[in-house]
Structure 1
């Protein structure tokens, strides 16, 4: 394990979040003693900022608010590793961009010492706290916190004030095809629609039907329940899967990064079907099953 990763895990999520509050919190408070003012031109964005798209209309609204009320919540920055006169944004890039639109010459900042890994970690956490974050990007942020920094679902849930089931259910959405995920990002489908489509065989086709017919989440769930079994399966009617079975399928799919289906035979036995996309995935599955992954 790298030194940066050890440092990040050692400090802990709660410590990293100490200076963060939701950006929508507009309560006026006394300036903190450790807040300093820095010329706008001496502040640069985080090159590893997870959020790549900033809505211009939203930035314009924030700029109008800044012109009227100023910057209520200071940016969190660190000194640039290559130039001590420059400050690198850890959290608050939207405020920095909007402040430039409002033509502010100085910004209030909190200077903190963060490693590269901690800087990315805080940027991810800040994005998760954004109220307008869509379900897919939120799920990807949770996954990044766990895969890059070794945090468990329980640790992330505790630090962010979320339930473990909320995080687990969102992360299952990452098993959906890219097209369906994009429709969620575009708000053509809600997170509820997407959750109903996670365990079906043809989520893209069903998602397209949901969008075309403007179906509600309840109607989508009903459509999924009555979807006919493919002709390659037994013609014997299959009982509806219970919530525990669907949750187990989702967990296994997330772990293996392949589609997993569990079919009970009506007795104590049954089948578990793992669908691989190509030979590379099959090879990775074989390595996992043999303990060589």
Structure 2
């Protein structure tokens, strides 16, 4: 290749970063206006000696974006079976597989409007690695068709930085996915100032992310998943509890080992992990599902120190409530015998 590593990092990055993977049908081929130059000095505005000025972070981010936007790439059709995923994945699996099926169907019906970005595999000259566009690559592979791709020359360092810049504009990444990506940049030896710039965060936010992924190993985070309803405070709470409670990590792993049901969600798995080390951490009066042996939901009950409420779900749930009503006299009798035996 005749192009320098810097000169072809990502072709038309403005278009590609603006085109999120779930909106391929509305591609805009016009390139973005160049980022305005930073002028003037930024005031100190630091909290403690370790904090960087926000303006410095923005300037670094703009410098990286300018590098990305300066590239020239070439579009080609590639066999998706000759492509491997990025060595620094930035997504966790979706809870709902139907989302990807809808996305794949749109590719099948309307075609791939936005090319993915690939680089030559560093250890296999006849293969490639995805820079970004993993869902488009996966869809093409499952559909058995070629994938449109821009081949770029890019180092490991610039690969994670390019992914991070793209991720900064994506709204569907959860907090823990961004933290896990920061962890992978950390593991790759990326300097903190580049992580700030790539994810558009300040050092205080990186410190919070580090407190989570250094306390909770990546395999545990991956087992829990995206957890879209779980924000930063609750991840920090779990990390703090694991860091301070003896054998907490073993307890979390044991609890998660039983969460492999088809309908299980990543938000629920997070709750399981937190309750394993902090039993009173769940939301107060949260409904607890009741299902029969086939998995059909019958009802949900809410329990408090002085009250139990059961809400039927569907026709079978109504029959279940009637059954409970009929069984109440026997339950009272069993409770009385148990209490008498305990007191005797």
Q: TM-score with structure 1 length normalisation? A: 0.52
| Corresponding residue for residue 170 of structure 1 | 209
Question: What secondary structure does 1:48 align onto?
Answer: coil
Matches within 5 A, 1:19-38: 19=13, 21=17, 22-24=20-22, 26=24, 27-30=26-29, 34-38=73-77
| Corresponding residue for residue 140 of structure 1 | 180
Hey, what's the Cα distance between the residues in 1 that align with 2:11 and 2:206?
18
Post-superposition Cα deviations, 1:227-279, rounded to whole Å, max 9, x if no partner, equal xxxxxxxxxxxxxxxxxxxxxxxxxxxxxxxxxxxxxxxxxxxxxxxxxxxxx
Deviation at 1:112, TM superposition (A): 0.6
Judged with a 3 Å threshold, the aligned counterparts in structure 2 of structure 1 residues 171 and 110 are, in CA distance, closer, same or farther, namely same
Post-superposition Cα deviations, 1:40-80, rounded to whole Å, max 9, x if no partner, equal 35641136253586444332121012123322321111234
Equivalent residues, number: 202
Question: What secondary structure does 1:113 align onto?
Answer: coil
1:58 aligns with 2:129: no
Hey, what's the Cα distance between the residues in 2 that align with 1:25 and 1:70?
12
1:185 aligns with 2:256: no
- Quick check: 2:132–2:163 contact (8 Å CA) kept in 1? yes
Judged with a 3 Å threshold, the aligned counterparts in structure 2 of structure 1 residues 214 and 137 are, in CA distance, closer, same or farther, namely farther
Deviation at 1:120, TM superposition (A): 5.3
Deviation at 1:191, TM superposition (A): 2.6
Judged with a 3 Å threshold, the aligned counterparts in structure 2 of structure 1 residues 142 and 34 are, in CA distance, closer, same or farther, namely closer
* Structure 2: runs of 5 or more not aligned: 32-71, 249-273, 287-344
1:88 aligns with 2:164: no
- Quick check: 2:84–2:127 contact (8 Å CA) kept in 1? no
| Corresponding residue for residue 196 of structure 2 | 157
Of the three residues 109, 119, 142, the one matched with 2:149 is 109
Q: Kindly report the root-mean-square deviation, in angstroms, between the aligned alpha carbons of the 2 structures.
A: 4.2
| Corresponding residue for residue 241 of structure 1 | none
Deviation at 1:140, TM superposition (A): 2.6
| Corresponding residue for residue 282 of structure 2 | 211
Hey, what's the Cα distance between the residues in 1 that align with 2:117 and 2:231?
32
Deviation at 1:138, TM superposition (A): 2.2
Question: What secondary structure does 1:108 align onto?
Answer: strand
Judged with a 3 Å threshold, the aligned counterparts in structure 2 of structure 1 residues 18 and 164 are, in CA distance, closer, same or farther, namely farther
| Corresponding residue for residue 119 of structure 2 | 78
Judged with a 3 Å threshold, the aligned counterparts in structure 2 of structure 1 residues 196 and 16 are, in CA distance, closer, same or farther, namely farther
Hey, what's the Cα distance between the residues in 1 that align with 2:162 and 2:119?
12
Hey, what's the Cα distance between the residues in 2 that align with 1:123 and 1:88?
13
